[in-house]
Amino acid sequence: MTHPVANPVIPLNRPEILESDIELVVDTLRRGTLSVGPCLLEFEQLVAERTRRSFGVGVSSGAIAIEIALRALGIGPGDEVLVPAFGYSGMPNSVLNVGARPVFVDVDPMSLNMDPESAAKRIGKKTKAMLAALTFGNPAQFPELIALCSRMEIPMVENASEALGTTYGADNAGRWGRVACLGFWSNRQVTTGEGGMLVTHDDTLAAACRALRHQGRVDRMSFSGQPRDIGAILEHIAIGGYDARMTESAAALGCGQIRRLDSTIERRQAVATAYVRRLAANPDIVLPTIPEGSSVSWANFVIRLSTRYTCDDRDAIIGVLHRQDIGAANYYPATSLLPQVRSVMGTEPGQFPVAESAAARTIALPFFNDMTEEEVNIVCDVLEMALNRTGGTHRA
């Protein structure tokens, strides 16, 4: 009697950590400089150069980068910030954490980025900023959004967490906002495990971000060229802040990762192309729609199911993938319907129909640098089997 051979586990993501990365991290441990050292300064410079900005400020996460950006812009109680109604929960959370009010904006039905026409209608007298995300790394609508911000004289906080290396014409992710926020989670093109960064051209804003990541403290050396490990004279400014510095070991890992970013993007593009080639003919799957003239760096690969599938159907399909040892996840949510948002804002279902429909039907599929075409085919085989088995059976 023969038994079928089980497929190996195909994870949702798998960070690529090379021996050279490990050596960089171990070197920081041997040196004994664990916070705000030469690796962090180098990583900040490398990211700033890659995004074509003047300053980089490394922090402990992409979410805290957003919150620090808002604080550095002076946003607080009584202010309103435009936020996409579909996306990362850290966006409305950050607005609420600084005491401001998130004003939700529905998204474009293809890119799932903030819809510019809807955004224009939501701007009011209390609007102090737009927090706009390149959803899944897609730069669509960003020229229109930054034009709207310029016309209405409000700053954009650009959430480019998933988009390092993405380009659109002559522009690139990280250059649209007055300040842009990046994240380096384990599924990203450049990962430090956790960690984030703010990039900007504004030296005053960069200085405020550095102070905010360090409890509002500014390091002042007692003489020029003073080594960091002999201490500093610390001055507190009237801004408060966080313990949000990026560790030296995380920055060391980031330095190794960003130096091979172009190669990483090329490999990820090959995986995305394999998925598109395999799934393009399936009428029940909506694939990522990338604007002409752009190049996406692919932090992840997220599909949507057609409208004949419900949220329960989607979750059942994810369950099938999991039982076959295949990674899958249901992101992102409709941000206006997050429990903590509803309790404060009183938002209700039906207010942002495009975002809510997308949130009920998105599936993130396995995606990582060294994913093989065979693995892509296994994922697609199981996905299509699950689609056929479910067939919209939960539909009322």
Query: Could you read off the pLDDT of 141-188 as tens digits, one per residue?
Result: 999 999 999 999 999 999 999 999 999 999 999 999 999 999 999 999
The CATH class, in words, for 261-390 is: alpha beta
Q: What is the pLDDT of residue 223?
A: 41
**Which residues are within 8 A (CB) of 235 and not within 5 positions of it... i.e. 6 or more apart?**
217, 218, 220
Is pLDDT at 242 greater than 50 in this prediction? yes
End-to-end CA gap in the chain: 43
> CB neighbours (10 Å) of residue 114?
30
| pLDDT score for 232 | 54
CATH architecture of 19-258: 3-Layer(aba) Sandwich (3.40)
Residue intervals of the chain classified under CATH 3.90.1150.10 are 261-390
DSSP 31-57: HT--BSSHHHHHHHHHHHHHHT-SEEE
Is the pLDDT confidence value at 362 over 50? yes
Do 164 and 174 contact (CB within 8 A), yes or no? Answer: yes
| 298-320 residue pLDDT tens | 999 999 999 999 999 999 999 99
pTM: predicted TM-score of the whole model, two decimal places:
0.91
pLDDT for 13 beyond 50: yes
CATH 3.40.640.10 location in the chain? 19-258
Strands (E), the chain: 55-59, 80-84, 101-105, 127-133, 156-159, 167-168, 171-172, 179-183, 196-200, 217-220, 233-236, 285-286, 294-295, 301-305, 362-365
pLDDT of 100-152, one tens digit each? Answer: 999 999 999 999 999 999 999 999 999 999 999 999 999 999 999 999 999 99
pLDDT for 2 equals: 37
Q: Which residue has the tokens 């599938």?
A: 309
What six digits make up the tokens of 178?
């007055």
Residue scoring higher pLDDT (33 or 256): 256
CA distance 335 to 69: 19
Instruction: Return the half-sphere exposure (C-beta side, CA atoms, 13 A cut-off) of residue 229.
Output: 7
